C-alpha cells in the first residue's frame, strides 16, 4: 500500500512540475501584447487606472513608450492542481531601471493567456534591493 501512495505522490508532483515549466515557457514566449491577454483581462500599470480587456490593454501598451524597451525575466511559476490556472512573477528591466511583475494566467484551448497583470513602478537600477528581495544574507 505504501508503494501505491508514494507512486501517486511522485506522479502528481511530476505533473505539476511539467505544468509549471510550460507556464514559465509561455511567460517567456508571449510578449505583453493583446495576444497574451484574455478578452476579460485586467492590467494594472503604475500611475494608470485599471485597464480591462485585451483590446484596451493593447491600445494602452501601443501608446506607452515606457514599455517598449522593457525586458521581463520570469522567476517563478505555480499552477493549480487541475492545471487550468497559474501565476508567474519576475523582474522587469529597462535602461537604468528595474521593477517587478505578477501575472495571473488561465489555460485556454489556444494555450496559456494572461487574465491579470500588474507591474511595480520602476526604480533606478543603482538603488539597493530591500533585504527580502536580495536573497539570503542580503540583510545587513
Entry pTM: 0.75
Query: How many angstroms separate the CA atoms of 61 and 34, rounded?
Result: 9
Burial of residue 133 (CB within 10 Å: 0-12, 13-18, 19+) is: exposed
Which of 1-15, 37-51, 58-72, 80-94 has the least mean pLDDT? 1-15
Q: How confident is the model at residue 58 (pLDDT cuts 50, 70, 90)?
A: confident
pLDDT single digits (tens) 79-105 = 999 999 999 999 988 888 899 999 999
Q: What is the mean pLDDT of residues 21-39?
A: 84
Nearest to 57 by CA among 78, 79, 31: 31
Which of 89-93, 103-107, 115-119, 128-132 has the least mean pLDDT? 128-132
Query: How many angstroms separate the CA atoms of 61 and 53, rounded?
Result: 12
CATH number of the 2-124 domain: 3.10.450.50
Largest CA distance in the chain: 61
With beta carbons less than 8 A apart as the criterion, state whether 116 and 41 touch.
yes
Model pLDDT, residue 14: 56
Amino acid at each position: 500500500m505504501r508503494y501505491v501512495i508514494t507512486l501517486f505522490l511522485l506522479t502528481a508532483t511530476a505533473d505539476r512540475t511539467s505544468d509549471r515549466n510550460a507556464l514559465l515557457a509561455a511567460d517567456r514566449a508571449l510578449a505583453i501584447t493583446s495576444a497574451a491577454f484574455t478578452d476579460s483581462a485586467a492590467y494594472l500599470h503604475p500611475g494608470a487606472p485599471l485597464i480591462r480587456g485585451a483590446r484596451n490593454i493593447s491600445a494602452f501598451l501601443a501608446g506607452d513608450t515606457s514599455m517598449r524597451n522593457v525586458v521581463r525575466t520570469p522567476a517563478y511559476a505555480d499552477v493549480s492542481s487541475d492545471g487550468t490556472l497559474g501565476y508567474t512573477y519576475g523582474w522587469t528591466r529597462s535602461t537604468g531601471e528595474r521593477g517587478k511583475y505578477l501575472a495571473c494566467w488561465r489555460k485556454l484551448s489556444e494555450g496559456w493567456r494572461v487574465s491579470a497583470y500588474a507591474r511595480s513602478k520602476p526604480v533606478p537600477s543603482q538603488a539597493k534591493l530591500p533585504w527580502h528581495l536580495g536573497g539570503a544574507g542580503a540583510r545587513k
